[in-house]
């Protein structure tokens, strides 16, 4: 178990990647799909890469690791149509296996429709696709749209299609729902959908005040509830979430009857801004430019409730973001009852996270949230690429900043001003069934390091770094000094990954010291070990035929070696028959040379029977 505790960062601490955490963090693997990158990463709680997937596309925008270990990844294939002038465009989705092989790719993008923002895998293997569809100015006006609210003579309302796979690059639309089929308006009495908006909360007012651009609703999130067979949608531009019935046929979904709830494709439930259906008042409004609406899964604390990332854009007073958890007013039949006055409840969320200083947490766009199995909530501040985890008591227990900017992993110590956005994230338990039998050996972090002992990333291993190292020194497991993993910097000083920052690690740090060697402070009781001579497997001070014999005896006759590293002739981090062969070639004039002992030690044990500290003989 990795034990870490959050502390205030100082000059030598990381500014990207893993920024710290506590033992109250939910131990697991976190999915990170940087918006500017074609790579998707799975990292552990210390920011080390467990696995990664490669795609030909940047996210467009959602990426999900599925319950069977496959990756569902939307992708950007076309720029936003010129008449749209909005964000979130994509165009296709892919299903990748663990090794990045594309099992299925489906493009939904042309001059009439375009996938955007989100997709959702259904239990039957079909995929829900959130998409725009183009309506001309004439069509919009015929639907009662106020011409003054038209932009570029087009309107792009949202719709959802369910796609079943028919081939590796094809699919069949087996169900669809269109917001365009469920409109009301009180602007143009000559149109068929003219009516009293307040009397029809199951319909969407086409003139609801929101985004006056072509992207009228700006749907940005879709989630599915398998037991209810319902879909929830986030309509950001009108500051509202909607629930619709998926049990309908496509024909029923285009009308106002049918399905389990008998309402066809009409809205079963809506929340966040009741003034959209001419009910309530400004005091009843909760949502401002929200993203990422999800039902909490069964077995998780709060199951059946809905979480929402409320961006807070355009709220009265200064903008600030918050995460909301609401209890929808679900009745015994799976429908939703409005409260007195026709406003759908609840009156207030059951749980809210916001920063005590609102100015510290304000994400103007994208972003997401998800409930974790232990009751904590992971939050994605999308524009800054900052992930953090909070307890039910609102304590931050883990922090991580995406270290990829404009598609390139950045060096530690360099703050990222822009270009490292993240749409949302997931975290899975260490023992999740789909992980069974997979190689989960931690690798290096996503961010780059000029040296593992250079936490401030300035290119020098010097007194500044040693000061931080000394704070994390724990001796030889005696518990002296500060706890290992007090923050992210402490993790990177454990060169041999044995769970202690001890004398062996002091040796490693001295070997890669870049300042004046005489200035290395050292730690009392820790002396640099004997530096080995590569090739001197017999430990007699010279390299000769006896060394090749010693290696062969070790490999085939249980012979012992005083220093395993000295026998790794070809420096491939393992001992095998290639090493005595390489030594004989050197001894008998092949022209080969023996690599010098490495002075830089990685952060994890190397393969085979060598230790990480490749330049020290224990």
DSSP string, 24-89: TSPPEEEEE-BTT-SEEEEE-TTSBEEEEEE-SS-EEEEEEE-TTS-EEEEEE-SPPPTTT--S-B
Q: Give the pLDDT confidence score for residue 509 in this predicted structure.
A: 82
Which of the two residues, 361 and 495, has the higher pLDDT score?
Answer: 361
Instruction: Evaluate if residue 603 carries a pLDDT over 80.
Output: no
What distance in Å separates the CA atoms of residue 490 and residue 501, rounded to the nearest whole number? 8
In this structure, are residues 609 and 450 in contact, taking their beta carbons and an 8 Å threshold? Answer: no
Q: Give the pLDDT confidence score for residue 468 in this predicted structure.
A: 79
Choice among 367-376, 435-444, 451-460 with the minimum mean pLDDT = 451-460
Which sign, positive or negative, has the C-alpha torsion 302, 367, 106, 174?
A: positive
Task: Give backbone dihedrals phi and psi of 488, rounded to 5 degrees, phi first.
Answer: -60, -35
Element (H, E) at 307: strand 306-310
**Band of pLDDT at residue 6, cut at 50, 70 and 90:** very low
Choice among 138-142, 534-538, 548-552 with the minimum mean pLDDT = 534-538
What distance in Å separates the CA atoms of residue 275 and residue 197, rounded to the nearest whole number? 10
What distance in Å separates the CA atoms of residue 94 and residue 115, rounded to the nearest whole number? 12
Q: How far apart are the first and last CA of the chain?
A: 27
**How many angstroms separate the Cα of 62 from the Cα of each of 81, 234, 246, 460?**
19, 14, 21, 39
Facing residues of 163 across strands? 127, 173
Which of the two residues, 514 and 147, has the higher pLDDT score?
Answer: 147
What distance in Å separates the CA atoms of residue 274 and residue 231, rounded to the nearest whole number? 20
Tokens of 476: 């030889």
Facing residues of 136 across strands? 154
Which of the two residues, 501 and 180, has the higher pLDDT score?
Answer: 180
Choice among 216-225, 324-333, 453-462 with the minimum mean pLDDT = 453-462
- CA atoms in the 13 A half-sphere facing the CB of 256: 11
Which of the 8 DSSP states describes residue 130? E
Instruction: Evaluate if residue 511 carries a pLDDT over 80.
Output: no
What distance in Å separates the CA atoms of residue 170 and residue 165, rounded to the nearest whole number? 6
Q: Of 469, 482, 471, 481, which Cα lies nearest the Cα of 513? A: 469
Q: CA geometry: angle at 541 spanning 536 and 542, to 5°?
A: 60
Tokens of 542: 């010279």
Q: Of 42, 54, 55, 47, which Cα lies nearest the Cα of 19? A: 47
Instruction: Kindly report, residue by residue over 221-269, the tens digit of the pLDDT.
Output: 999 999 999 999 999 999 999 999 999 999 999 999 999 999 999 999 9
Instruction: Evaluate if residue 155 carries a pLDDT over 90.
Output: yes
* pTM of the complete model: 0.80
Q: How high does pLDDT run on average in the chain?
A: 87
**Band of pLDDT at residue 187, cut at 50, 70 and 90:** very high
Facing residues of 39 across strands? 54
Burial class (CB within 10 angstroms; exposed 0-12, middle 13-18, buried 19+) of 227: exposed
- Beta strands per DSSP E along 68-155: 71-76, 91-96, 102-107, 113-121, 127-133, 135-136, 154-155
Q: What's the whole-number mean pLDDT along residues 585-590? A: 80
Collapsed DSSP state (helix, strand, coil) of residue 6: coil
Q: Give the pLDDT confidence score for residue 80 in this predicted structure.
A: 64
What distance in Å separates the CA atoms of residue 20 and residue 389, rounded to the nearest whole number? 11
Long-range contacts of 513-520 (CB under 8 A, 24+ apart): 513/461, 513/462, 514/451, 514/459, 514/460, 514/461, 514/462, 515/460, 515/461, 515/462, 515/463, 519/462, 519/463, 520/466
Tokens of 466: 């040693």
Strands 204-205 and 183-184 come out as parallel
On the question of a cis peptide bond just before residue 346, with omega within 30 degrees of 0, the verdict is yes
Q: Give the pLDDT confidence score for residue 534 in this predicted structure.
A: 78
What distance in Å separates the CA atoms of residue 98 and residue 58, rounded to the nearest whole number? 18
Domains of the chain (ranges, CATH numbers): 17-435 (2.120.10.30)
Residue with tokens 């640099």: 528
Collapsed DSSP state (helix, strand, coil) of residue 188: coil
Tokens of 544: 């000769």
State the CB neighbour count (10 A cutoff) for residue 99.
Answer: 8
Residue with tokens 């070639």: 585
What distance in Å separates the CA atoms of residue 268 and residue 245, rounded to the nearest whole number? 7
What distance in Å separates the CA atoms of residue 49 and residue 303, rounded to the nearest whole number? 30
Which residues fall within 8 angstroms of residue 155, CB to CB, at 6 or more apart? 134, 135, 137, 139, 140, 145, 214, 216
**Band of pLDDT at residue 490, cut at 50, 70 and 90:** low
């Amino acid at each position: 178990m990795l034990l870490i505790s959050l502390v205030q960062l100082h000059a030598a601490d990381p500014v990207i990647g893993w920024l710290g955490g506590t033992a109250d963090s939910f131990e697991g693997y976190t999915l990170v799909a940087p918006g500017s990158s074609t790579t998707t990463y799975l990292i552990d709680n210390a920011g080390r890469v467990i696995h990664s997937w490669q795609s030909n596309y940047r996210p467009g925008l959602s990426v999900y690791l599925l319950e069977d270990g496959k990756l569902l990844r939307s992708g950007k294939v076309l720029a936003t149509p010129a008449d749209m002038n909005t964000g979130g465009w994509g165009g296709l989705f892919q299903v990748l296996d663990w090794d990045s092989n594309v099992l299925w790719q489906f493009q939904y993008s042309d001059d009439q429709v375009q996938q955007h923002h989100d997709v959702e895998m259904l239990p039957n293997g079909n995929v829900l696709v959130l998409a725009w569809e183009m309506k001309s100015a004439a069509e919009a006006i015929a639907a009662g749209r106020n011409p003054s609210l038209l932009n570029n003579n087009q309107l792009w309302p949202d719709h959802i299609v369910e796609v079943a796979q028919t081939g590796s690059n094809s699919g069949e639309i087996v169900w669809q729902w269109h917001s365009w089929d469920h409109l009301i308006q009180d602007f143009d009495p000559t149109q068929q959908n003219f009516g009293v908006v307040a009397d029809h909360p199951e319909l969407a007012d086409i003139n609801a005040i929101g985004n006056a651009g072509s992207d009228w609703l700006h749907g940005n999130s879709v989630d599915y509830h398998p037991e209810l067979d319902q879909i929830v949608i986030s309509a950001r531009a009108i500051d509202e979430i909607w629930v619709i019935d998926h049990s309908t046929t496509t024909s029923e979904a285009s009308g106002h009857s049918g399905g389990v709830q008998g309402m066809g494709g009409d809205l079963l439930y809506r929340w966040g801004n009741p003034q959209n259906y001419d009910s309530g008042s400004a005091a009843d409004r909760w949502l401002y430019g929200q993203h990422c609406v999800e039902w909490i899964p069964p077995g998780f604390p709060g199951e059946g409730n809905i979480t929402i990332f409320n961006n807070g854009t355009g709220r009265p007073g200064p903008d600030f973001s918050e995460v909301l958890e609401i209890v929808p007013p679900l009745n015994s039949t799976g429908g939703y009852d409005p409260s007195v006055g026709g406003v759908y409840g609840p009156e207030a969320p059951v749980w809210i996270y916001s920063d005590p200083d609102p100015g510290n947490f304000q994400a103007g766009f994208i972003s997401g949230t998800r409930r974790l199995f232990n009751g904590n909530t992971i939050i994605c501040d999308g524009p800054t690429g900052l992930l953090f985890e909070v307890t039910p008591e609102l304590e931050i227990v883990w922090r991580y900043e995406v270290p990829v900017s404009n598609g390139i992993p950045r060096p530690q110590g360099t703050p990222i001003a822009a270009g490292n956005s993240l749409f949302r994230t997931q975290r899975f338990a260490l023992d999740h069934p789909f992980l069974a039998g997979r190689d989960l050996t931690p690798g290096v972090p996503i961010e780059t390091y000029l040296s593992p002992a250079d936490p401030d990333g300035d290119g020098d291993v010097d007194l500044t770094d040693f000061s931080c190292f000394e704070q994390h020194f724990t001796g030889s497991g005696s518990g002296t000094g500060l706890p290992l993993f007090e923050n992210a910097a402490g993790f990177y000083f454990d060169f041999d990954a044995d769970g202690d920052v001890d004398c062996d690690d002091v040796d490693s740090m001295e070997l890669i010291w870049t300042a004046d060697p005489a200035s290395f402070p050292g730690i009392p009781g820790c002396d640099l070990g004997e530096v080995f001579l590569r090739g001197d497997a017999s430990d007699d001070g010279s390299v000769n035929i006896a060394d090749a014999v010693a290696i062969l005896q070790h490999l085939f006759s249980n012979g012992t070696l005083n220093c395993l590293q000295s026998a790794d002739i070809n420096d491939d981090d393992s001992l095998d028959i290639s090493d005595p062969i390489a030594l004989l070639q050197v001894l008998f004039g092949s022209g080969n040379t023996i690599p010098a002992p490495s002075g830089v030690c990685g952060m994890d044990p190397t393969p085979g029977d060598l230790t990480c500290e490749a330049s020290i003989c224990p």
